[in-house]
Chains A and B, each alone.
Chain A
Amino acid sequence: MNVIALPIFVPLLLILILLVVKQTRWAQWISILGSTVLLFISIILFSGLKDTGIQTLNMGNWNAPFGISLVLDYFSALMLVVSSLIMFALSVYSVYFMGEEQKVNKFYLFFFSLTMGINGAFLTGDAFNLYVWFEVILISSFVLITLGKSKEQLEGGVKYLALNLIGSLFFLAGLGLLYGKTGTLNMAHLAEILRESEQPVYINSSAALFFMAFGIKAAVFPLFFWLPASYHTPNITVTSIFAGLLTKVGVYAIIRFFTLFFVQDQAFWLNLFLVIAGLTMVVGGMAASTHYDTRRILSYHIISQIGYMIMGLGIYTPLAIAGAIFFTLHNMIAKTNVFLVSGLINRVKGTFYLKDVGGLYKQNPLLAILFIIPAFALAGVPPISGFFAKFILIKAGIEDGHFFISAVAIGTAMLTLYSMIKIWNEAFLKKAPEDKESKYESKGLVFGEVFPSIVLGAASILMGLFAATIFAFTMEAASQLLEPGLYIESVLKGINP
């Protein structure tokens, strides 16, 4: 068997192992080990791309487009590496932060089913298979979000579930229509058919359904409601996983579909993307600025940042797509990290509510540094990763004449800055409010708790310092997306059914 399938089968194996493991200790070690292995696999897969460009695997040896193909191109490989890195960090983090829950063994099961779904979604080259992985992600996230069973969690869970289920139905309906019109499900084959077709606009209605499905998943305006209603309710580990990965799978799917085969009637779609991107950025950013709970601020903030990714797609030049990918990678890392740090703040101070905390700068300088790295990354301070992400997008926008959306992006960057400074001022600089201080005994942090943040923080910084390398990869990914000839060729290998 080809190694491309490993990111799907290793988690499966881990799930099976974890089904029989009873001790929490063991489960923790297995999951750390497992996620380390996954990280290595994804790095190896990624470095293997240098020679081949795109790797494919036909499952069960059924030639594409008849069976299911897995496809690894630069875009999916980059997403895979970053998500594996995040999963690795979270597997360590969860040891300390899932401790209080009784279901800790089960948590790892769902953790890896989620991993499996995400990896599958990145790897698959088949539209229906993507649906299946979406469902795996969905059910795993349902379970994770309700794991603690507090009232709030159940309520958040109901909302999360309701809106996402509707999203799935749109996805499935879109698939049905797409298959009805084209008779195929393989994405490369779809690309070939639809790019050559003479009446391609007929596909637009299916495209609309897919857009709804992925839009709900990616939490764009006006489909994002489930996110702020639910993300702040579960255990911080779970929120961090969701924040870093879930919406980005939606973004991944939008970018994949709308560069590979929904390329008809671009005047309509790209303008729609730009409008949505602008609204998403502004609404998310504005909403974030009004809150005082770190998790809520950061949740709205996720939405705002999704806008940037969609903006890149809407501009649709190689630079812009590369920018969108760069932004996505940067955002996955920094956003997860900032949630992890908010968990640390909660650990030290006992609350997420900014008005009740303070004085952390003095009390715990290490925590201040850990916060300031992802916060500065998100705010776009050079030379950390976020600066390049925004720079590339704004450059792409201005050079392609999209001045308005570029101005919106700049304005939103200020909103981001405002939110980050608010957290910084309130949690770190301000004196701790005295009446609250006495109630909760402040705790110190052990190394294992901060280790994941250190890893992700270092990743953000390195991504900035070695932006040339990362950018070259994203540029490669973008050119593969915009000129899918190679993609189609590698998958179909000249077979024309």
Chain B
Amino acid sequence: MQIVLLIYLIASFLIFVIPERIKKAVPFFLASVQLGVFIYFFSKIGLVSGGATIIEKIAWVPQLGLEFELVLSGLSLAFVLLITGIGVLVFLYSYAYMKSYSRTDIFYFYLFLFSGAMLGLVLSGNLILFFVFWELTSFLSFLLISFFHEKEASRKAAFQSLFITGLGGLILLAGIILIGSVVDSYSVSVWVENAVMIKSHKFYLPGLVLIFIGVFTKSAQFPFHFWLPGAMQAPTPVSSYLHSATMVKAGIFLLALLNPVLGGRPEWTYILTLVGVITMFLGAYFAITQTDIKAILAYTTISALGILVMLLGIDTVLSTKAAMLFLYVHAFYKAAMFMIAGFIYKKTGTLEWSKMGGLAGIVPITFTIALLALLSMAGLPPMLGFLGKELIYEAKVQLPDVASFILVFGVAGNALMIAVSMFFLFKVFLGKKGKSFEVSYKKDWAYVFGSGVLALLSLFFGLFPSFLGKNIIEPALNSIRKIDYSVKLKIWHGFNDVFFLSVVTVLLGFSLFLLIYRKNRLLEKWRNFNLNFFTIRLVDVFDNTMNSFLKLAKRKTEIVQHGYHRYYILTIFVVASVLLWYQVYVTQGWSLLNVFTLKPFYISGLVVVIVFSTFFSVISSSRIATIITMGVTGYGIALIFLYYSAVDLAITQIIVETLILVMFVLVLQQFPLFAKLSSKASKLRDVLIAITFGSAMTVLALKSINIDFNNRISNYLIENSYVKAYGENVVNVILVDFRALDTMGEVTVLIVAALGVFVLLKSKKV
């Protein structure tokens, strides 16, 4: 299986080296790779349905619990076949659809890489690896949605989808890490083994919620669903593949995968059924008032994803079985419908159903296919969709606790779905002729082929469901529920509650359809009502939140980075003062022992002189006086050095001070007089800050003098200065021998500074 992923990676890059004249063959090449992989996995059905799981594992970052662990179980096989199978058809379809666009290389590259990433996702046996693929699919989806990148709407939709799924992804990661910390592993099998422990741990609920948020964003559940309709900006093959059949199901896959670990608790059931039901109903409800056929399909996809989440939430064997079946049902009809919608769009140049009509006469084959797909979508016999819907009802009826709530919304949702399907069929294919166009099935076979296959499969499996049930649904179910359960699908269940519900649904659906079909105005009113009633559109909420966040950020930034230089300095000194005084406060306990030990006392006279000259320098408004008194301070310090037996230091200080004074005087000619720039209040504030900081430093100096851990290394230096380094002046020996590296750095600083001044002052004026 690792080889398979590698093949995807290599094949993706091969696209760029295929010579120009056979570029046309790229989609066929990719489709045949997909087909090969499909056949490979198809051949594993026997093995997997026998209960075996194939595990391949190599280390990636084992220290972090990240293994490249691939697991082929019944569950992953069900998804793998869907991904590769529909993949074949989508690439064939892309051949027709993408022909007219330039830069298709990059499109195929992303799309094929996506297939590989998606395959990796459903094969992952390690949740961090799973996350890696999860993120990759999010990013590839982003790149694909923004394929028509010069359209503002595309870019915006792409960003939205990435932001939502990206945020969800990181939250999911946090959830995985949280639960992973309970069992100290990210391997799914370890989680399953320790399921009991996880379920009773205090991290269960927070972990569950975090993981659910990840799932809800990816699988477009309320209230994160709004990115999916936006994602319809992508080329239709992408909508058909990523945004209906595969990527949006990644969340569903994760729920199924973690069902044995996290399921079986009321938290699981309540959250998932509630969110699922709301999503299902809202999706169907909004689908019906859309004017754009791709949008209709997008909302019905949301609804279908809601059903899947709800079914996994009900968390019984029957509901899981229904979920696995419905996964297939939906993938078949929805991918087909998207392909048809794209075909119509290409031919008519519009996606508005109001401009279409009577297409059945122009494209009879497509009409037949659409009829089959829509029947399946409506859940009517003899299609696979019918089986799916019956099973769903059965699962719902079975659950006594929340059943009535779910049932009411379920029936309503399905009725809406029937109405939408009928409406689609009648408005687009039957009735008054809208835009007309030429079509030659010989030339356009690739448009129709994929949808045809899928529709026929819907029909075939509807009539003969046992192959699907036995080979795919049953192993998947067994690997989720960890039980042996034989799945028998049948079309006729006899007269019971479920049948009754079906009849009610169909009647409701047809009435609703007739109502809106007959009275166009009604639909319009309904749409207006929705617009007025649901004034809060989540897309806008997202945009507004984003915008107000940016505004806030701008305001905050202007407050922080205001440009007034001295307030930056001020901030630094305030922070430093607070920190230092705090430290002084908490580290009491040292005492002032050596305060007056030092002699001679008359040094205080010198200190007084220095203090005065400093003070004068600060308050003087004359430049020259300021500088000269500054010099006095410097010389005074040199004298202090001298008194306390630091001869070299005193000499250096005097030289440096003199040089600085000279330079100041030289430069001074150029400068304006000191202007009175600061107000009294700001001066007072600055004085206070300066004193706070200065006094802190005084205290620290005293503290440092009085605390001695008694480990002076200088004793060694003094003792060895002459003996080993042959120098009498210890300070000089330290500089040139003990700490020669410092001196080297110091000289470097001087050289660089000199060169810098040279470069700065030389040559042109600015």
- Residue positions of A touching B, CB distance < 8 A: 8, 12, 15, 59-60, 62, 65-68, 102-103, 106, 109-110, 113, 116-117, 120, 124, 128-129, 132-133, 135-136, 139-140, 142-143, 146-147, 149-151, 154, 158-159, 162-163, 166, 170, 173, 176-177, 180-186, 189, 193-194, 197, 199, 201-202, 204-209, 211-212, 216, 222-223, 225-226, 228-229, 265, 268, 283, 286-287, 289-290, 300, 359, 361-362, 365, 376, 381-383, 387-388, 391-392, 394-395, 398-399, 406-407, 410, 413-414, 417-418, 421, 425, 428-431, 467-468, 471-472, 475, 497
Chain B neighbourhood of A182, CB < 8 A: 709, 711
Chain B neighbourhood of A207, CB < 8 A: 583
Q: Of A68, A186, A286, A417, which is within 8 A of B557 by CB? A: A286
User: Is A163's CB under 8 angstroms from B740's CB?
Assistant: no
Of the candidate stretches B169-177, B282-290, B466-474, the one touching chain A is B169-177
Interface centre among A59, A142, A398 (most CB of B within 10 A): A398
Closest CB in chain A relative to B590 CB, distance in Å: 6
Chain B neighbourhood of A201, CB < 8 A: 586-587
User: Is B170's CB under 8 angstroms from A208's CB?
Assistant: no
* Chain B positions 656 through 677: 1 when the CB is less than 8 Å from some CB of chain A, otherwise 0: 0000000000000000000000
User: Is A211's CB under 8 angstroms from B579's CB?
Assistant: yes
Chain B neighbourhood of A407, CB < 8 A: 174
- B131: Cβ under 8 A from any A Cβ: yes
User: Is B756's CB under 8 angstroms from A110's CB?
Assistant: yes
- Closest CB pairs A-B (n = 9): A180-B704, A143-B756, A132-B745, A183-B712, A429-B149, A286-B553, A225-B568, A382-B132, A287-B557
Of the candidate stretches B159-167, B415-423, B603-611, the one touching chain A is B159-167
A147 to B741, CA, bound (A): 28
User: Is B739's CB under 8 angstroms from A67's CB?
Assistant: yes
A106 to B756, CA, bound (A): 9
Known: A12-B748, A139-B756, A395-B177. A150 touches B711 (CB 8 A): no
- B508: Cβ under 8 A from any A Cβ: no
User: Is B711's CB under 8 angstroms from A382's CB?
Assistant: no
User: Is B738's CB under 8 angstroms from A361's CB?
Assistant: no
User: Is B709's CB under 8 angstroms from A471's CB?
Assistant: no
Known contacts A113-B752, A180-B707, then 4 further A-B pairs from the complex at CB < 8 Å, ordered by chain A residue? A129-B741, A140-B752, A223-B571, A365-B106
User: Is A497's CB under 8 angstroms from B713's CB?
Assistant: yes
User: Is B553's CB under 8 angstroms from A289's CB?
Assistant: yes
Of the candidate stretches B57-65, B364-372, B479-487, the one touching chain A is B57-65
User: Is A184's CB under 8 angstroms from B711's CB?
Assistant: yes
Closest CB in chain A relative to B123 CB, distance in Å: 16
Chain A neighbourhood of B716, CB < 8 A: 66, 497
- B592: Cβ under 8 A from any A Cβ: no
A142 to B749, CA, bound (A): 11
Interface centre among A208, A388, A410 (most CB of B within 10 A): A208
User: Is A150's CB under 8 angstroms from B561's CB?
Assistant: no
User: Is B740's CB under 8 angstroms from A287's CB?
Assistant: no
A15 to B745, CA, bound (A): 13
Closest CB in chain A relative to B546 CB, distance in Å: 8
Of the candidate stretches B190-198, B518-526, B534-542, B758-766, the one touching chain A is B758-766
User: Is B576's CB under 8 angstroms from A398's CB?
Assistant: no
Q: Of A124, A140, A189, A222, which is within 8 A of B571 by CB? A: A222
User: Is B550's CB under 8 angstroms from A289's CB?
Assistant: yes
Interface centre among B561, B590, B701 (most CB of A within 10 A): B561
Closest CB in chain A relative to B738 CB, distance in Å: 5
User: Is B576's CB under 8 angstroms from A212's CB?
Assistant: yes
User: Is A12's CB under 8 angstroms from B744's CB?
Assistant: yes
- B580: Cβ under 8 A from any A Cβ: yes
A180 to B700, CA, bound (A): 10
A425 to B150, CA, bound (A): 9
Q: Chain B: which residue is nearest A358 at the CB level?
A: B150
A59 to B63, CA, bound (A): 38
User: Is B572's CB under 8 angstroms from A398's CB?
Assistant: no
> For residues 375 through 398 of chain B, which have their beta carbon under 8 Å from a beta carbon of chain A?
none
User: Is B155's CB under 8 angstroms from A183's CB?
Assistant: no
User: Is B571's CB under 8 angstroms from A225's CB?
Assistant: yes
Chain B neighbourhood of A429, CB < 8 A: 146, 149-150, 155
User: Is B550's CB under 8 angstroms from A383's CB?
Assistant: no
Known: A146-B760, A382-B132. A417 touches B166 (CB 8 A): yes
Chain A neighbourhood of B764, CB < 8 A: 149
Chain A neighbourhood of B561, CB < 8 A: 225, 228-229, 287
Known: A205-B583, A290-B554, A429-B149. A398 touches B742 (CB 8 A): no
A193 to B709, CA, bound (A): 8
* Chain B positions 690 through 721: 1 when the CB is less than 8 Å from some CB of chain A, otherwise 0: 00000001001101110111111111110010
Q: Chain A: which residue is nearest B746 at the CB level?
A: A132
Q: Of A116, A147, A181, A229, which is within 8 A of B759 by CB? A: A147
User: Is A205's CB under 8 angstroms from B710's CB?
Assistant: no
- B305: Cβ under 8 A from any A Cβ: no
User: Is B705's CB under 8 angstroms from A180's CB?
Assistant: yes
Chain B neighbourhood of A163, CB < 8 A: 568-569, 572
Number of interface residues of B (CB under 8 A): 96
- B514: Cβ under 8 A from any A Cβ: no
- B136: Cβ under 8 A from any A Cβ: yes
Q: Chain A: which residue is nearest B175 at the CB level?
A: A398
User: Is A177's CB under 8 angstroms from B700's CB?
Assistant: yes
Known: A290-B553, A381-B135. A391 touches B173 (CB 8 A): yes
User: Is B753's CB under 8 angstroms from A183's CB?
Assistant: no
User: Is A410's CB under 8 angstroms from B171's CB?
Assistant: yes
Chain B neighbourhood of A181, CB < 8 A: 704, 707-709
Q: Of B162, B572, B715, B717, which is within 8 A of A417 by CB? A: B162
A211 to B575, CA, bound (A): 11
A154 to B103, CA, bound (A): 46
Chain A neighbourhood of B150, CB < 8 A: 359, 429-431
Interface centre among B170, B563, B752 (most CB of A within 10 A): B752
Report 12 cross-chain contacts, Cβ distance below 8 Å, ordered by A residue. Answer: A12-B748, A59-B741, A66-B713, A128-B742, A133-B745, A201-B586, A208-B576, A225-B561, A229-B563, A289-B549, A417-B166, A468-B61
User: Is B553's CB under 8 angstroms from A287's CB?
Assistant: yes
Q: Of A136, A150, A226, A399, which is within 8 A of B177 by CB? A: A399
> For residues 560 through 609 of chain B, which have their beta carbon under 8 Å from a beta carbon of chain A?
560-561, 563, 565, 568-569, 571-572, 575-576, 579-580, 582-584, 586-587, 589-590
Q: Of B63, B568, B579, B584, which is within 8 A of A212 by CB? A: B579
- B128: Cβ under 8 A from any A Cβ: yes
- B299: Cβ under 8 A from any A Cβ: no
Known: A180-B704, A183-B712, A193-B711. A471 touches B61 (CB 8 A): yes
Chain A neighbourhood of B760, CB < 8 A: 143, 146, 149
User: Is A290's CB under 8 angstroms from B557's CB?
Assistant: yes
* Chain B positions 40 through 53: 1 when the CB is less than 8 Å from some CB of chain A, otherwise 0: 00000000000000
User: Is B155's CB under 8 angstroms from A472's CB?
Assistant: no
Chain B neighbourhood of A116, CB < 8 A: 748
User: Is B580's CB under 8 angstroms from A391's CB?
Assistant: no
A151 to B765, CA, bound (A): 11
A65 to B552, CA, bound (A): 53
Q: Chain B: which residue is nearest A286 at the CB level?
A: B553
Closest CB in chain B relative to A221 CB, distance in Å: 8
- B181: Cβ under 8 A from any A Cβ: yes
Known: A132-B745, A383-B132, A467-B60. A202 touches B560 (CB 8 A): no
A289 to B766, CA, bound (A): 33
Q: Chain A: which residue is nearest B576 at the CB level?
A: A212
Q: Of B62, B174, B714, which is within 8 A of A406 by CB? A: B174
Known: A176-B704, A383-B132, A417-B162. A361 touches B756 (CB 8 A): no
Closest CB in chain B relative to A261 CB, distance in Å: 12
A135 to B131, CA, bound (A): 45
Known: A110-B756, A113-B752. A184 touches B713 (CB 8 A): yes
User: Is B135's CB under 8 angstroms from A186's CB?
Assistant: no
Q: Chain A: which residue is nearest B203 at the CB level?
A: A398
A228 to B103, CA, bound (A): 39
Closest CB in chain B relative to A228 CB, distance in Å: 6
> For residues 177 through 235 of chain B, which have their beta carbon under 8 Å from a beta carbon of chain A?
177-178, 181
